[in-house]
Amino acid sequence: MIVDPLVLAAFVPAALALNLTPGADMMFCFAQGLRGGPRAAVAASAGISAGSMVNVTLAGVGLGALVASMPGLFDAIRWLGVGYLLYLAWRTLRMPVIRGEAPAVRPSRAFRDGFLVNVSNPKVILFILAFIPQFVDPGRGAVLAQFLIFGSVIGLGGLIINAAVGWGAGGMGRVLARNVRIERGLRWASASIFGLMAAKLAWDSRA
């Protein structure tokens, strides 16, 4: 096998612990579910996992080291992520309030948003470079394939857990949105989550 079964057995619980730790991806899916419903939350989670696999591939071919060694490129990617999150917050606030039902969010748009938010966060690829190589055995060859296997474990776990969190938020949001005032509050809550994520990303840039 490309990956030692014992190493993979040790990696799975470590990856699961990471997936269960509340973070930006989980909060993003929660916000998408709150405003867009369960389908949007699942699509957003799938987009995040797809973006994560892109970052895993980049790390596996060595481009992550290039990003880490070029602060200018690192910051440019990060500020693109800040801008996109702020755009999502603005777009959420601009959505019309419809009495009795929150405006639907197309799953394709939720997938795209999740993908772009993940890909535009360079901390993801740096984390992958710090975490996955601990389990990669160069002596077995096919380093990229090993990266992809371990990355798939993280991506699949994140897909299931983040989708579950977003699905729960989506069900709650659909019930609460029957009241116009509460629906308006949900819209502000979702926009605030996006805004706080942007603020943290911007603060990380300054740090």
DSSP state of 105: -
Predicted confidence (pLDDT) per residue in 63-122, tens digit: 656 666 666 766 776 687 778 778 878 877 776 555 445 556 788 999 999 999 888 877
| H-helix or E-strand spanning residue 40 | helix 38-60
Please tell me the distance from the alpha carbon of residue 165 to that of residue 42, in angstroms, as a whole number.
Answer: 9
Helix (H, G, I), strand (E, B) or coil at 205: helix
Q: According to the model, what pLDDT value does residue 76 have?
A: 74
Predicted confidence (pLDDT) per residue in 160-179, tens digit: 999 999 888 877 666 655 56
The H-assigned helical ranges of 132-179 are 143-176
φ, ψ at 156 (rounded to 5°): -65, -45
Predicted confidence (pLDDT) per residue in 12-42, tens digit: 988 888 788 777 788 889 888 887 888 999 9
pTM of this structure: 0.71
Residues making up the chain, counted from first to last:
207
Domain spans of the chain? 5-12+23-206
